[in-house]
Structure 1
């Protein structure tokens, strides 16, 4: 999920070591390379998925997804805690509005309606101030956090919620994009994007995957690769760890703001 072109080499190195460990533990049919050819939604639905990362909100909202949660990553980036992260609500740097409430009647950008960081946490941040009716004049769907950043910077939208880890990567690797923005607010925290495998993956392979994660997170020879990805570790987890995401949604709904609009 966090695979900026400048991070490809780091992700490839981590996967190469995970693959080596899995093969050494007798796991068959381990891919040599990460699959960057398919949309993540298609990958999540692949019953042969060995290892991936998923957004927690669709895992709760889309009953067609059948995935097993392996662990929650820990990130060393702004807006991140111990296996938690938040979204940063951003606007153009030259926008004169100085409060979140001042963006009522403007245009919002979201990456996807089933995104936790781009929609669910955005909605939760606004819910206490929305009151009755809608908040935005328009909501555009961009398809990616980076695209939402570009939309805000270019004036096609006025406000967006950007995953804290994604924002950190853009700030490091494409500072010209974030230089056009200002941070207006920070969302509530929620669990980070879990590492997952297909629900049909055998118990033996699940155990091997968890051992591989333990080893690559502790390997000093991979410290630079982890740093390029802002990875500071991981916490073993199950689907139950995603419960706070549903609670965040329920709180916004109870406040009278069930749909980001």
Structure 2
């Protein structure tokens, strides 16, 4: 049994489980062929993570996350996953990375967003969505520049997945600031807990606007019925997408193999560096 843990939680919708498992199988097999003892399956809940007696500590010995064994077993604490000392491979977001996560992990690659409108290579943008009114959806600018419809957004109720999310909160905040505005343009702000929940909230009339990263928006159009009641009215600036990370304590030879595999064209089929 592998001593490592791995996860691909960011787009792991229930309808996507088989595709996510297949993606991990490709990665796992590529890692194993290079001598890395990658785990057979990915972690999806706290119970899948190795216990860490006394809590997860940083290099100075300070506790920075609780022992996963003390957390609800059927939930997944993202920060506990990202900070886990046995983390071999996972996705995260540049929002948490900028807020301190980068001190405790190593970036080993970036996914490609070429398959999604609003994406280009390792860059992605977020669709700014509102309840559909019969108008056609706004296409993503070819050059990746922001397209923020201030007149439509003013006095609307803004909902977001998490306040540390680059795609759902931070990116739009920065685009507004570049236009001389702020989140005060909105009459209300509420945290939904996830991009899918934001879309449902807009469809149900509980909120008016949200920023949904381009891959999540593509998933919503495939799997979430509420997306039919929502339309794209603008786009945030293209920024780096979700980075792939490994623990700061991952041995250098292992980290180098991960970087090499993820930067090799066609090595795992879905990543670029």
TM normalised by structure 2 equals 0.73
Query: Are the equivalent residues in 2 in contact too, given 1:124–1:187 (CA < 8 A)?
Result: no
Distance 1:6 1:133 in 2: 33
Within 2, Cα distance between the matches of 1:10 and 1:63? 28
> Structure 2 stretches of 5 or more lacking a match?
1-9, 46-75, 139-148
- Contact 1:18/1:212, CA 8 A, preserved across alignment: no
Report the alpha carbon displacement of residue 108 of structure 1 after superposing the two structures with TM.
Answer: 0.5
> Does the CA contact (< 8 Å) of 1:89 and 1:184 recur in 2?
yes
Aligned pair partner of 1:137 in 187, 209, 214: 187
Instruction: Specify whether residues 104 and 129 from structure 1 end up closer, same or farther in structure 2 by C-alpha distance, changes over 3 A only.
Output: farther
**CA deviation map 1:85-143 (0-9, x unaligned):** 001110000399x9432332221101111000000112123235554882122100011
Q: Does the alignment pair 1:25 with 2:34?
A: yes
Cα distance change, pair 133–124 in 1 and its aligned pair in 2 (3 A): closer
Question: Could you say if the C-alpha distance between residues 218 and 131 of structure 1 is closer, same or farther in structure 2, counting changes exceeding 3 Å?
Answer: closer
Asked if the contact 1:92/1:153 (under 8 Å) is kept, the reply is yes
Q: Does 1:12 align with 2:5?
A: no
Q: Tell me, in whole angstroms, the C-alpha distance in 2 between the residues paired with 1:203 and 1:133.
A: 42
Give unpaired runs (5+ residues) of structure 1: 236-261
Give secondary structure in 2 for the equivalent of 1:78: coil
> What's the CA shift for 1:165?
0.8
If each structure's helix is expressed as a fraction of its own residues, which one has the higher value?
Answer: 1
Contact conserved, 2:108 with 2:262, CA < 8 A, in 1? no
Matched, 1:100 2:150: yes
Q: Distance in 1 between matches of 2:183 and 2:172?
A: 16
Higher relative contact order (CA 8 A, sep 6+): 1
The yes-or-no answer on 1:80 pairing with 2:128 is: no
The residue that corresponds to 1:234 in the other structure is 272
Structure 1 residue 51, shift from structure 2 partner:
0.2
Structural mapping, 1:57-206, within 5 Å: 57-62=95-100, 66-75=104-113, 76-94=115-133, 99-129=149-179, 131=181, 134-174=184-224, 176-206=225-255
**Aligned residue number for residue 44 of structure 2:** 36
**Alignment root-mean-square deviation, CA:** 2.5
Cα separation, 1, equivalents of 2:90 and 2:201: 28
- Offset, 1:25: 2.9
TM-score by length of 1: 0.76
> Does the Cα contact within 8 Å between 2:127 and 2:233 map onto a contact in 1?
yes
Which moved further from structure 2: 6-15 or 181-190?
A: 6-15
Tell which deviates more after alignment, 198-207 or 6-15.
6-15
Structure-2 residue corresponding to 1:253: none
